[in-house]
């Protein structure tokens, strides 16, 4: 469960990233977070992984109040949340396999178990045949799938995808949305940030809309499944 209660975020520059946001997302929901560039989508994601703290209000993930979470607990939180960053953050001198195995290595998972898990997630996202390629050898959609696979490596309860279709043509964008929807069907809570209103228009998923840091829309009543 995710809950933002009266959350505002004012940056050191004096700019407001978010203003008085109230929202909650249940376990296993699929939510589109929509809004133009600069509306606050990435700021919400950064709050959810406790990369930043709110200036006001509380952020709750599962039963953790992130405004009170001790530093040493942050790694536990991050294991539960997979993030696909807008700029992907893939390492270009490592293969697909090596990129995706990294979170497992960092958390000390044994090599054989890690290898199995990587093969499982690469199969799930449809790029197992590319596992030994380097990022430069992949298409935009395949790069996005690699970043999604890496975000799934630790079997997170929540997946945050920040503009995952930003650089893709429309056919590939739909494939990525379908993949995220399938991941959600398997039981993962998914929040996908996008400024592409066409993507959300034709799908009966919950849509949370932001504009200039304010929540302007929440179609909670829509059938979410
Ligand atoms: N580190 C920061 N310092 C100052 N202002 C920021 C910072 N991060 C975001 N902002 C501002 O907060 C607003 C929301 O940004 P962001 O969450 O990145 O929007 P989005 O992801 O929807 O494009 C913007 O006005 C942006 O300029
Ligand atoms: Mg953003």
142-189 pLDDT tens trace: 999 999 999 999 999 999 999 999 989 999 999 999 999 999 999 999
Instruction: Supply the DSSP string of 11-55, one letter for each residue.
Output: -TTS-EEEEEEEEEE-TT-EEEEE--TTSSHHHHHHHHTTSS--S
177, two tokens: 């949305």
Q: Which atom of ligand 1 is nearest to the CA of 17?
A: 12
pTM above 0.85, yes or no: yes
CATH architecture group of domain 2-218: 3-Layer(aba) Sandwich (3.40)
C-alpha to C-alpha distance for 166 and 87, rounded to whole angstroms: 10
C-alpha to C-alpha distance for 198 and 195, rounded to whole angstroms: 9
Cβ atoms within 10 A of the Cβ of 32, count?
Answer: 23
Which is it for strands 56-61 and 64-65: parallel, antiparallel or unpaired? Answer: antiparallel
Q: Which atom of ligand 1 is nearest to the CA of 46?
A: 17
Residue 224 has pLDDT above 80, yes or no: no
State percent of the chain over pLDDT 70.
98
**What would the pLDDT profile of 13-69 be if each residue is shown by its tens digit?**
989 999 999 999 999 999 999 999 999 999 999 999 999 999 999 999 998 999 999
pLDDT at 225: 41
- Gap from CA of 210 to ligand 2 centroid (Å): 12
| Protein residue closest via CA to atom 16 of ligand 1 | 40
pLDDT band at 223 (very low <50, low <70, confident <90, very high): very low
| Protein residue closest via CA to atom 25 of ligand 1 | 38
The helix/strand/coil state of 216 is: strand
Domain ranges of the chain: 2-218
C-alpha to C-alpha distance for 101 and 115, rounded to whole angstroms: 7
State percent of the chain over pLDDT 90.
89
């Amino acid at each position: 469960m995710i809950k933002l209660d009266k959350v505002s975020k004012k940056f050191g520059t004096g700019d407001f990233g978010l203003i008085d946001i109230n929202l909650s997302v249940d376990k296993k929901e699929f939510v589109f977070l929509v809004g133009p560039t600069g509306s606050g989508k990435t700021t919400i994601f950064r709050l959810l992984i406790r990369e930043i703290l709110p200036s006001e209000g509380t952020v709750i993930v599962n039963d953790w109040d992130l405004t009170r979470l001790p530093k040493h607990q942050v790694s536990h939180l991050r294991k539960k949340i997979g993030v696909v960053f807008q700029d992907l953050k893939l390492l270009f001198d490592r293969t697909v396999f090596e990129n995706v195995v990294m979170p497992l290595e960092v958390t000390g998972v044994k090599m054989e178990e890690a290898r199995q898990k990587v093969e499982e997630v690469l199969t799930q996202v449809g790029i197992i045949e590319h596992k030994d390629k380097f990022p430069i050898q992949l298409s935009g959609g395949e790069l996005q799938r690699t970043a999604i696979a890496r975000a799934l490596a630790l079997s997170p309860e929540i997946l945050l995808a920040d503009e995952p279709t930003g650089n893709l043509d429309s056919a590939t964008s739909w494939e990525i949305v379908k993949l995220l929807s399938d991941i959600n069907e398997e039981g993962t809570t998914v929040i996908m940030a996008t400024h592409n209103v066409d993507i959300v228009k034709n799908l009966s998923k919950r849509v949370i809309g932001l504009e200039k840091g304010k929540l302007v829309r929440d179609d909670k009543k829509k059938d979410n499944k």
